[in-house]
Amino acid sequence: MDKLAVQLGARSYPISIGENLLSSAKLFESAIVNKKVMIITNNVVAPLYLQQCEKTLQNFQVEHIILPDGEKYKTFKTFEAILNTLLKKKYARDTTIVALGGGVIGDIAGFVAACYQRGVAFIQVPTTVLAQVDSSVGGKTAVNHPLGKNMIGAFYQPQTVIIDINCLKTLPKREFVAGMAEVIKYGVIYDRNFFDWLNDNVDDIKALEADKITYMIKRCCAIKAEIVAQDEKEHGIRALLNLGHTFGHAIEAEQGYGNWLHGEAVAVGIVIAAKIALTKGLIEREEVEQIMLLIDQFNLPSAPPELMKYSHFAKHMQLDKKVLDGKIRLILPTSIGTGDIFSDTSEAAMQSVIGL
């Protein structure tokens, strides 16, 4: 088992990564406040891992809430329904919430934990690549609003993150591949050595080779932990983690959530950002080609849907959380392994890359 920590003073917490960690009572116990535990999961993950999780927690009073699967249930209505259940069942402030699932479950269960009786303990047990390398770490929790994704939420850190890499064995291949976009993101924006390591290990990663997967997840979590420790509430460097997301969110919104997976859209967004960086003279052509090649090796898309032109992107980008004073703030790579935030990109530059 590998371990690392997110250093946030009194709110610091460990991340454990390895095989069969769902069965490790010790990892859970150290984070549980008192007797009562509520596991929040969904109807896809529950048949796979709920029983195992409940067995591990048999020394506690454990109950569960099983939500319907999907981004479309990451809503205020679901949030309210969970709170209603907790209140009816008289859960008190010493409750511990366990989020068992992908990013949707982690985000909504985390937001419930942040709000229920002004905050109760919670444990992230991420079961997708995306959740294991990104969403379970760093404390962003949210639900969607009809006017925008993740628009209602809180920064609220978990007590611990328990990452069982065996869960990835049941993940549909398309979901695995989509999660790889967030992995590639860390290499492009922060760590050239990791980018090269990914290039050298494509086949082993695709084959879920345990040591390689553990290293990959650990490196992503370590980068995220390093960034979050410096900038928990995204006033600066944390924004780098949004590489590709401004364009990606526009693709997801335009195509209808669920038709393009988040990671697929982010992969295209990373390529658009790299090409814009090239037109601004920030990055070498060869590096843009290397980024596109790695994205392709993981079978991720690198071009937007054919009919989606700049005007379609612009419509959604104005609503993006990264717009400040009407100016779109783009995260652009300045080489493989470094990046920065730019507020001076002309519409012409974006149009020339995306197409009119």
Residue 149 touches ligand GLY, criterion: CB under 6 A: no
C-beta of residue 175 within 8 angstroms of C-beta of residue 167: no
Does 262 help bind ligand NAD (rule: CB under 6 A)?
yes
Q: Measured from the CB of residue 296, what is the shortest distance to ligand GLY in angstroms?
A: 23
Question: Which of 78, 95, 124, 127 touches ligand NAD by CB under 6 A?
Answer: 127
Among ligand NAD, ligand GLY, none, the one that 150 touches (CB under a kind-dependent 5 to 8 A) is: ligand NAD
With CA atoms as reference, report the closest residue to 98 among 77, 71, 126: 126
224 belongs to the catalytic site: yes
- Identified catalytic residue from 118, 169, 173, 235: 118
**Among 15-23, 147-155, 237-245, 310-318, which window interacts with ligand GLY (CB under 6 A)?**
237-245
Give the number of other CB atoms < 10 A from CB of residue 291: 24
- Binding partner of 238, given ligand NAD, ligand GLY, none, CB within 5-8 angstroms per partner class: ligand GLY
42 binds ligand NAD (CB under 6 A): yes
> Rounded to the nearest whole angstrom, what is the least distance from the CB of residue 223 to ligand NAD in the complex?
13
Q: Which of 57, 120, 131, 241 binds ligand GLY (CB under 6 A)?
A: 241
**3-class DSSP assignment, residue 143:** strand
CA atoms within 13 A on the CB side of 164: 23
Residue placing its CB nearer to ligand NAD in the complex, 50 or 288: 50
18 binds ligand GLY (CB under 6 A): no
If you write DSSP's letter for every residue of 212-249 in order, what string do you get?
HHHHHHHHHHHHHHHHHHH-TT-SSGGGGGGTTHHHHH
Largest CA distance in the chain: 62
Q: Is 214:2 a contact under the CB 8 Å cutoff?
A: yes
Q: Which stretch binds ligand NAD (CB under 6 A): 28-36, 96-104, 278-286, 287-295?
A: 96-104
Residue 228 binds ligand NAD (CB under 6 A) = no
Number of residues that bind ligand GLY (CB under 6 A): 7
- Site membership for ligand GLY, residue 252 (CB under 6 A): no
Burial of 33 (0-12, 13-18, 19+ CB in 10 A): middle
Residue 22 vs 317, nearer CB to ligand GLY? 317
Comparing CB distances to ligand GLY, the nearer of 206 and 238 is: 238
Report d(CA 80, CA 91) in Å as an integer: 15
Q: Report the distance separating Cα 74 and Cα 87, nearest Å.
A: 20
The two tokens of residue 59 are: 């020394």
How much of the chain is in helix, strand and coil states, percent to nearest 5?
50, 20, 30
Shortest Å, Cβ 81 to ligand GLY: 26
- Minimal distance, residue 134 CB to ligand GLY, in Å: 5
242 is catalytic: yes
Rounded CA gap, 138 and 154, in Å?
Answer: 11
Closest CA to 341 of 355, 354, 352, 327: 327
Token pair of 155, please? Answer: 């920064």
List residues with catalytic annotation. 118, 140, 182, 224, 234, 238, 242, 245, 249, 262
Contact set with ligand NAD (CB under 6 A):
42, 44-45, 48, 69, 71, 74, 101-105, 107, 127-128, 130-131, 134-135, 138, 140, 150, 167, 170-171, 175, 262
